[in-house]
Every structure is written in structure tokens, then in C-alpha cells.
Structure 1
Amino acid sequence: MITITGAIKVPEFLSFLSSLMGTLTQQKVEVLSGYPANCSRWLTIYHYRHTNRWSLEWYDKPGYGRPPMLNNDDCLMREANKGASSEELDYARRLLEKTGFCDA
């Protein structure tokens, strides 16, 4: 093990650098976005391919809710067309079904 005076140990630094690179290179794919049924806030569903983690992110800034002229019972989620695979789209639709937000 090589140690540099006044610095961290090289293996620890390499481990830190490796974890940092994994975080930076993790691909976040937007799968679906829109207004779910019976919700007044915009929802975007992301898939992190590197870790197979899913994220549901709500945009709930005041004044940016579902337009009043849209029927609240309708699921207005759409495909993002940003590189999501058909498997990712199917999984995101199943997530919406399980949560009761859409009858996809």
C-alpha cells in the first residue's frame, strides 16, 4: 500500500473515485410523465439503469397544477420518448396500475 504524506491512502482514494464515477455515469431515463388520474400534480417516472432503481418525482410548484378544463378522472401520462425501452414503459405502466393512478 502506498501512502502519500498528508494525503489519504491510495486504495481508499481509488474506492472513492470508483463510487463517484459510478454515480456520475449512472443513466437516468425518463420513462413516463404527465398528470395521473385523480392527481393535480405533474408526475415523472425515471429509471436508473445502473442500479435498476425507479424514481417517481412530483412537480408540485404552486400554480402549476392540472388545468381545470381537464377531466380529473383521466390518466394523462405519456411516453417521454427519451430512450426508454418497451420493458421500461411496461414496468412504469404497471407501477401506475398498482398505485391506482392509471388504468394503463
Structure 2
Amino acid sequence: MTNESKHSSMSKFGELIESKTPVLLDFYAEWNEQSTAMHPVLRDVAAALGDKGKVIKIDVDKNKELSQALRVKGLPTLMIYKNGEMVWRQSGEQDANTLIGILNEYI
């Protein structure tokens, strides 16, 4: 892997989180049951948000550098970014209503 391709994944991340609407990031791994159990919850959250925000799932095995940079340890790790700043972060499962409530504070 060259520096360029690594850099582009980080700069792409930078573009994602510069959003004026809240972006919920879900760091997960396919082998981690707790984090795959979150997928239907995140679908509900995305549906409730509509175009007022984004939900982005990030596979830690495919994004090791980003996961290390953000010190992702426990899975799932959920983060909300707005205007390039992390405004909320939590590890472990959350229910859809809790996440929607938190996201609504940043819309």
C-alpha cells in the first residue's frame, strides 16, 4: 500500500466529517456479533434522519489506519461528527431511539 492510497482514505474521511449535518460513524467488524447486531438499528436511524444527517458504517478490518488514529478499541464504537468536530462518542450497543435523540440535538 503506497502512502497515496492511505492518504486518500484519511482525506476522504476528512471530507465525510466536514458535513454541516451530523454524521454518525459506526466502527464495526464482520466477526463481532455486537457490532453486526447494530446494523438493523442503524438502518432505522438512517431512515429516521432522512436527509438531515448521515449514517456511515466503517469496517475496522478494512480501515485499520483510521481506526487506530481514532483509537477505536471496543466494538461497536459510535461517533457523531459535525463540521469536522467529534461531538459525541460511545462504545457498545445503542438502541435506535437513543441514537435518534442524540442526533436530533445536532441537527
Under TM normalisation by the shorter chain, which class is it? Answer: under 0.3
User: Which structure has the higher relative contact order (CA within 8 Å, separation 6+)?
Assistant: 2
TM-score (structure 1 length as normaliser)? 0.25
Task: Determine which structure has the larger helix proportion and give its number.
Answer: 2
TM-score, length of structure 2 as denominator length? 0.25
